[in-house]
Amino acid sequence: MVVPGRHEHRHEPVGDGRGPATQEAPGQAVVLLAVALMHTPSPLIEYPAEIPDPLAFVRLFATTGWDLQGRLTVAAAAAALAPTWYAVSAYERERLVGTGRIIGDGVLHALLVDVIVDPDYRHRGIGSAIVERLVAECRLQNIVDIQLFCAFGVRPFYERLGFAARPDDAPGMELVVG
């Protein structure tokens, strides 16, 4: 479990920082290198395995447009973050520029939630680095059921990271309250 607090515990980068390790066939090295370089995270970003500060989280969450009614207060964010099983935050210097967390039982199921990157920092590999670290922790703990909900328009992002949409007739339902 991740405990709150800046820079208390850091995980080393997953792989070589350029995405999942692959074995390429002859002639594919250039294409794979180009794809890998697209996902190279900024060297100025630090990725501690920690729950973000609730105030910083509220500020980052506000960039998503998900909280249209303005209900996410600092106290509500603290309560929401408390049951986090594992989290990765992304900082440029002391500024929270991205985060992602897992809620789950730590054994069978993991649900990736609140994967957020500040709009000014998108398309720099930060979101990929966060998700790769979250998935790596699940694999380390032998969790094989990793799920997520994604916002409209970002499905291809998660598909590039190995996730697949469930078929329409697959299990899984949702009840939206409010």
- What tens digit of pLDDT does each residue of 47-102 get? 999 999 999 999 999 999 888 788 899 999 999 999 999 999 999 999 999 999 99
pLDDT at 44 over 50: yes
The burial class, CB within 10 Å (0-12 / 13-18 / 19+), for 30 is exposed
Which amino acid is residue 168, in one-letter code?
Answer: D
- pLDDT(38) > 50: no
* CATH code for position 113: 3.40.630.30
Measuring CA to CA, which residue among 123, 59, 61, 43 is closest to residue 95?
59
Q: Where are the alpha helices (DSSP H) in the chain?
A: 29-38, 54-61, 74-81, 126-140, 155-160
Please say if the pLDDT value at position 4 is more than 80.
no
Structural domains of the chain, count:
1
| CB neighbourhood size of 11 (10 A) | 15
- At 79 the pLDDT is 97
Q: Is the pLDDT of residue 105 over 50?
A: yes
pLDDT reading at 103 higher than 60:
yes
The whole-number average pLDDT for the span 114-132 is: 97
Domain that holds residue 120: 49-160
Tokens 């309250």 found at = 177
165 within a domain of the structure (yes/no): no
